[in-house]
Amino acid sequence: MENRDNARDPWVEAQIAALDSEGEGQWKPNAGAALVRHGARVRRERFLRRSLWSLASAAAIVIAVLILQAPTACATPRGCAVHWWNALFTISASQPDSEIPAYKIIGRRDAPVTIEVFTDYECPACAALYRDTMPQLMRDFVDTGKVRIIHRDFPLNIHAYSNLAARYANAAGEAGYYQAAVNRLFETQAQWSKTGDIAAALADVVPTAVLQSVAADRDRTVANDVAQGRRDQLSQTPTLVIVWKGSRQPVAPVPDYERLKAYLNEVLR
């Protein structure tokens, strides 16, 4: 194999060899200095690697903690937590009434206080709010013109059917059956949240034609409500956002009715 003559072109080899004649005798590369520079580069590289590992480890721990803290179920009496990433990078702002469907607003337009009620139809605490607190709130504050209510959808991604339920309720609202649909959804939450058969739950309070229109419906109302909730930095459902003299104050978890009543009376005084 070592028969070099087979491949030999003396002229080409001479040309390559001629490169050697360029001042070689006068130049001595400084290996010592180069090794010192190499050592410094190695130390920088090792420091950078250690720093990156430390940062990566810290980031991994933070992410793990946040993931472990994220809710996987929603059975607490005080409400359902919003995933941590939904609460990031939010800015509070109010939405004009003109952008809110009329069927979601209950009470006098000129009421001094507005309460925006952010709920998730699969959230047990939201169902309890509608069952226990809302009737009293309506009686003492809405019917008397002191407060108006805006229902807001805030379906959490830990729930499989809450977004669809909100679209059913809003379709019913467009047809004039909003309050009946909302009440029925919360009353029958335990049933349809297992099967996803929301239409069956609403069958006797909302006309069939309305229920059949939901599948093709592209409801922006839910998205608008969710966007507003994120701007308000919601951390859980249910949350009441008290709107008074231009300020927005999220209240969560929702206190018992007597405390809420005292708070509202204080604001209205």
Partner 1 sequence: MNAAVEISAGRFDFDTFFQANYGRIAHAIARIVGDHARAEDLAAEAFWKLWRTPKAQGENAGGWVYTAAIRLGLNELRGSARRRKYEAEAGPAIAARTPEQERAAAEQREHVRRILAKLDARDAELLLLRGADFSYAEIAGALDINPASVGTLLSRAQQAFRKEYVRNYGEPG
Please report, as ranges, the residues that interact with partner 1 according to CB under 8 A. 1-4, 6-9, 11-13, 15-24, 26-32, 34-35, 37-38, 41-42
User: Between 42 and 59, whose beta carbon lies closer to partner 1?
Assistant: 42
Q: Which of 165, 148, 171 is nearest to 237 (CA)?
A: 165
Q: Are 198 and 185 in contact (CB under 8 A)?
A: yes
User: Between 17 and 102, whose beta carbon lies closer to partner 1?
Assistant: 17
CB of 50 to partner 1, least distance (A): 16
CB of 43 to partner 1, least distance (A): 12
CB of 42 to partner 1, least distance (A): 7
User: Between 23 and 77, whose beta carbon lies closer to partner 1?
Assistant: 23
Q: Are 82 and 236 in contact (CB under 8 A)?
A: yes
Q: Are 127 and 254 in contact (CB under 8 A)?
A: no
How many C-beta neighbours within 10 Å does residue 148 have?
A: 21
**From CA 249, how far away is CA 76, in angstroms rounded?**
23
User: Between 8 and 139, whose beta carbon lies closer to partner 1?
Assistant: 8
CB of 12 to partner 1, least distance (A): 4
DSSP 256: P
**From CA 139, how far away is CA 149, in angstroms rounded?**
12
User: Between 37 and 220, whose beta carbon lies closer to partner 1?
Assistant: 37
CB of 41 to partner 1, least distance (A): 7
Q: Which of 182, 185, 204, 201 is nearest to 103 (CA)?
A: 182
**From CA 179, how far away is CA 151, in angstroms rounded?**
10
